[in-house]
Amino acid sequence: MSTIEIKDLHVSVKGTQVLCGVSLTLTQGEIVALMGPNGAGKSTLSNVIAGHPDYEVTRGTILLDGQDILALAPDERARMGLFLAFQYPNEIQGVNFGTFLLHAYKARFGKDASPAAFNKALTEALHTLNLDRSFIDRALNVGFSGGEKKRAEILQMLLLKPVFAFLDETDSGLDIDSLKVVSAAVNGVRGPGFGCLIVTHYQRILSLIKPDTVHVLMDGRIAHSGDATLVHQLEAKGYGWLKPAIKLA
């Protein structure tokens, strides 16, 4: 069973400190929710784990099964089974979505990425997300609606079978039907071989994908942790009741 250990992580963006000593452990087989107000550093944490170059780690470590991954390039981390679903997926003109998926699949699985295996996995993923095969004939995210972009991200996740997935506000911009489809897809791969961190502001996705653990990030630190009942407390009380804990930390 794989684990990600984040220890005393400090991160800056363009000289501004965003994370101020985050420590937490993610275990394969568990779904963890990361909540918090705007600007708390939730998306920063996901991007740093994935290897986004705009973020500078000034202190701390991120260990995947004991190996420090901070020196690894984003593609190396992806090959190890880390996957990030972006909050704002980029539109890439001239890149066919199906071709992109094929190359990503080959990079992830190497010699095991036979055409038959790819087609089987792709057909199953499209079916899970209620998508027609014509969906992958388009340019990557070009002209996609907000909901289509998020389904495209989850399609990649289903195809690449990550060890850990980081869903950065995947629920934003989704209508009720799309949210149910996306949530069902995540629940469908839930199990001992899949770990997931869901970054969100809202309860609604967590009512469909029940987290094992909830962490609240405020002012660049973990302010509070708990089980799924914490989501309901935050919905009722907001984040203000946690601020004294930040000041004492």
The model's pLDDT over 158-204, given as tens digits with 9 standing for 90+, comes to 999 999 999 999 998 888 999 999 999 999 999 999 999 999 988 99
Answer yes or no: are the C-beta atoms of 101 and 159 closer than 8 Å: yes
Predicted confidence (pLDDT) per residue in 22-45, tens digit: 999 999 999 999 999 988 899 999
Q: Which two tokens stand for residue 210?
A: 């029940």
Answer yes or no: are the C-beta atoms of 159 and 122 closer than 8 Å: yes
Q: If you search the block for the tokens 């090959």, which residue do you land on?
A: 79
| Bridge partners, 67 (sequence order) | 64
Calculate ∠ Cα 57-165-225, nearest 5°. 70
Q: Which two tokens stand for residue 217?
A: 């990030």
pLDDT at 20: 94
Residue range 146-151: mean pLDDT, rounded = 93
Q: What is the pTM of this model?
A: 0.93
Backbone angles phi, psi at 163, to 5 degrees: -75, -40
CA dihedral 246, 247, 248, 249 (to 10 degrees): 50
Query: What is the rounded radius of gyration, in angstroms, for the C-alpha atoms of the chain?
Result: 18
Nearest Cα to Cα of residue 32 among 166, 201, 179: 166
For residue 218, how far is the Cα from the chain centroid? 19
Asked whether the predicted pLDDT for residue 76 surpasses 70, the reply is yes
pLDDT at 112: 85
Cα separation, 105 vs 118, whole angstroms: 7
pLDDT grade for 213, boundaries at 50, 70 and 90? very high
pLDDT at 248: 38
**DSSP label at 41?**
S
Cα separation, 66 vs 246, whole angstroms: 29
Mean pLDDT of the chain: 93
Cα separation, 91 vs 136, whole angstroms: 14
Residue range 111-128: mean pLDDT, rounded = 94
CATH number of the domain where residue 198 is located: 3.40.50.300
Number of domains, the chain:
1
pLDDT at 231: 94
Residue range 103-115: mean pLDDT, rounded = 92
Predicted confidence (pLDDT) per residue in 158-167, tens digit: 999 999 999 9
Answer yes or no: are the C-beta atoms of 242 and 218 closer than 8 Å: yes
pLDDT at 249: 39
Nearest Cα to Cα of residue 230 among 246, 212, 205: 212
> Considering the chain, what percentage of its residues have pLDDT values greater than 70?
97
Q: Which residues have CB under 8 Å from 76's CB, separation 6+?
A: 51, 69
Answer yes or no: are the C-beta atoms of 74 and 51 closer than 8 Å: yes
pLDDT at 243: 66
Range of the domain at 30: 3-248
